[in-house]
Each structure stands twice: as C-alpha cells, then as structure tokens.
Amino acid sequence: MAQNDELNLPLSGIGGIETWIDAFEYILLGASTIQVTTGIMHYGYRIVEDMIEGLSDFMVERGIKSVSGLVGQALPNLHETEAFDLERQGITQYDLEKCIGCGQCYIVCQDAAGQAIEWDAASRRPKLIEDKCLSCMLCKFVCPVSDLISYKEMPQDWKRQETAVMDKNMEQDIKLEPFTKEGPR
C-alpha cells in the first residue's frame, strides 16, 4: 500500500505491536501512526512510554532528528516472493551454550511450524530433528536470546523429511470455496 502512488493515503501500523522495534518496523514500512490494543491490555499504557524511550534512544544514537524521516525507509527492501530463490535449502542451528531453557522455541515449532524440535525436559534444552526443519525461523523470532538461533544453508540435494504440513494429499482434502453472505456454499 505504501508503494502505491495512486492510493496516496497516510497509513497506520496495527497488529502485534508490543515493543519499540515492532513499532519501528511498521514505520520503516510506511506507517506514519501506530495503534496498539493487545499489548496495552497485557502490560498497560506504560509500554507506550517504553516504545517512545526505545525509539528515542535509537534515534539519538544514530543522530536521527525526526520520526517522519524514517517513514517508509525500508520500502526499497520489499520484494515479491518471485524475487527469492525458493530452491535454497536450510535448517536452524542452536548455540545451546546460550540457551536459558525457556521452551519458547519448542512451543512455537510444535504449534505453528514443522514439529521439528524435541524437548529434553531433564536438561531443559531443545533438540532439532534436522530433516523436519522448515527453516521458517519462527523459533528465532520467539527466542529471547537474540544470537542463539541462526540459519544454516544446506546443499541443494539435501532432502527434507515429508511432514504433515507438506503432505500433498492434505492439499487435495482442503476445499477452497467462496464465502458468501449466507456462509460457505
């Protein structure tokens, strides 16, 4: 939308904003205002103060004078899916020396990704089943230790195990039907 000259409207960023970095990402992608609901319900209005402080500190560090100058700065980095090399193969790798045993990676992989992580309850550490990893990097997004999980390139002939999310037979079972006022036909 921010790249559409015909639209030419101010945009407001909303959805999943809790930290100054979340807000900053929306600003970089063209939002000139930010809205927050769930974050404030969880943590109170003080998170807005934290957002202002975080962004202000960043701007002072970088010598940036105004927020408006940041709006849309990352738009040149946005690309259509076709621009990516979808033949690339990868998995995650874990530097478990840094792990604090919170289990967030296991939960997200179990519920929203490839079920590629086993959880060792005794040591409270994740164990990756490499050939189930979808390299979606969701585990990296939720891990509270920023440089613990990284992407590891795999050779083109590396074969990922077929998992439920990749089962082509399941696609045939999903029927896409137009949603009408009366509900699905």
Q: Is 52 in the site for ligand FMN (CB under 6 A)?
A: no
Query: Which token pair is 91?
Result: 């998995």
Give the C-alpha separation, 119 to 48, whole Å. 35
Q: Are strands 183-184 and 179-180 parallel, antiparallel or unpaired?
A: antiparallel
Site string for ligand FMN, 9-38 (x = CB under 6 A): -----xxxx------------------xxx
Q: Is 29 in the site for ligand SF4 (CB under 6 A)?
A: no
Among ligand SF4, ligand FMN, none, partner that 37 touches (CB below 5 to 8 angstroms by kind): ligand FMN
Give residues 85-124 in contact with ligand SF4 (rule: CB under 6 A): 92, 94, 99-105, 108-109, 113-114, 116-117
Q: Note every long-range contact of 121-126, with CB atoms under 8 Å and residues 24 or more positions apart, other chains counting.
A: 125/96, 125/99, 125/101, 126/94, 126/96, 126/99
Cβ proximity to ligand FMN: between 17 and 113 the closer is 17
Q: Which of 30, 39, 114, 126 binds ligand FMN (CB under 6 A)?
A: 39
Which amino acid, one-letter code, is at 29?
L
Among ligand SF4, ligand FMN, none, partner that 51 touches (CB below 5 to 8 angstroms by kind): none
Give the C-alpha separation, 180 to 73, whole Å. 39
Residues contributing to the site for ligand FMN (CB under 6 A): 14-17, 36-39
